[in-house]
Structures are given as structure tokens and as C-alpha cells.
A and B are shown apart, each in its own frame.
Chain A
Amino acid sequence: NAGVTQTPKFQVLKTGQSMTLQCAQDMNHEYMSWYRQDPGMGLRLIHYSVGAGITDQGEVPNGYNVSRSTTEDFPLRLLSAAPSQTSVYFCASSSGAPNTGELFFGEGSRLTVL
């Protein structure tokens, strides 16, 4: 099992560019989520999904879109990158709701917006 796989690991963008962070899991988890990690602010939830075709907003959704067409994949799209989106992004999945057990994280994607 590869677990949760994120690509790319590093990305540099210019302000206004768009891009997609990819996330895939091979554990047949229904729940998937995206967090961003900024110094001194912990992990903040961007968007989450409880199953294919179902997504919802988290704490900091502005500037990001998601979709969930399959159980395995949960891409995060930045529509028009801004310097405030410079961060480390983590995808995470779990077999049930977050209050039922472990969240499995990907290795992270470090994004710099110039």
C-alpha cells in the first residue's frame, strides 16, 4: 500500500497562475481532506469530502476548489494563485469521520507563490 500520495512535492508559481495539487489514496477511504500548514498556525482545513461526488468547505476555502469524482482521488485547484497561498499543503484521508479514528497524511506539497 502506498497510502496517501501527493504530487508535486514542490512548486513555484507566479501570482495569478493556476495549478492543481494531486492527491490519491489506495486504502478505500471515504473521507479525504486538504489542510494547509503555516508557521504558528497549525493545520487548517481547506476542503473535505465524505465520499465520491460530495465535497464541502472547511475553515479556509477561499481561492481553492476541489472535486471528488472517484473514491481514490481528491485534487485541490488553485484558481489564481496569490502570495498568501504560499504554504505547505497536506492531503489526509480516513476510513470514517474524523472523530472515529486516524487521519493518514500525505508527504505534503510545498507551494511558493511569487
Chain B
Amino acid sequence: GENVEQHPSTLSVQEGDSAVIKCTYSDSASNYFPWYKQELGKRPQLIIDIRSNVGEKKDQRIAVTLNKTAKHFSLHITETQPEDSAVYFCAASRPGRRALTFGSGTRLQVQP
């Protein structure tokens, strides 16, 4: 089955700096790669996703890049703010698979 590895497990940055979280996946047929943000005590919520026919996608301060050859994708957050502090999960899935496989999560702390 699919295996998704996520690094780092914790990340601390100064407000205004950039943050990068990386994930690798094992199933070369995977074609959908979402990122979820979970604030403390809250539910995970989708913040951005990318499909395998696209190499990069941006939404304001967040962007996701995908390298299909290397089977890895990354979340980039620029100009970080304290409200970006949360746990971020990457995930992967492929056609015909009725499940998302999640990474183990990255706890991002933005220091004011």
C-alpha cells in the first residue's frame, strides 16, 4: 500500500520567515496530494491540494510543489504569521483507492 513520510516532525520559525515541509510517497500511481492544517484542539482542514498534472500551485502565502520523478511534494509558507502555528499533514491518494494516506504531521511554531 501507499506510504507517506513527512519531515520535519517539528519546525520553529520567526515571524516573517518562510517554512517548508516535505513529504515523500511510495505509490507512483498516486495523483492527488492535499495538505491539511490542524490548529490546537480543532479538526483538520484542507488548505491546498495539487494533482499530478501540475507542478506547482499557489494560494496567497502558501504554495505546494510536486516532483513526480522523485515522488515528493512540499508545502511552502512565506511571510509566516503566529496564526500559521498548527500541525500540518500531507496526504496522497490514487485513482481507484478509496482512502487518503496521511503523513505523520509537522508541528509548526511561529515565534512572534
A residues near B (Cβ < 8 Å) are: 31, 33, 35, 40-45, 48, 50, 56, 58-59, 90, 97-100, 102-103, 105-108
Contact = CB atoms under 8 A, between A and B. Distances in A.
Which of A43, A58, A90, A106 has the most CB atoms of chain B within a 10 A radius of its CB?
A43
B9 A105 contact: no
Interface in B1-29: 1, 6, 9
Interface of B: 1, 6, 9, 31-32, 34, 36, 42-46, 49, 89, 93-95, 97-105
B99 A45 contact: yes
DSSP class of A's interface residues: helix, strand, loop or mixed? loop
Contacts of B100: 45, 98-99, 103
A48 B98 contact: yes
Given A42-B102, A43-B102, A103 B46 contact: yes
Contacts of A105: 43-45
Nearest to B100: A98
Given A102-B46, A105-B43, 20 more contacts: A31-B98, A40-B9, A40-B104, A41-B104, A42-B6, A42-B102, A42-B105, A44-B102, A90-B44, A98-B98, A98-B99, A99-B93, A99-B94, A99-B97, A102-B34, A103-B34, A103-B36, A103-B100, A105-B44, A105-B45
A90 B36 CA distance: 14
A108 B99 contact: no
A43 B42 CA distance: 14
A99 B31 contact: yes
Contacts of B42: 107
B64 to A, nearest CB: 15
Contacts of A50: 98
B43 A100 contact: no
A99 B95 contact: yes
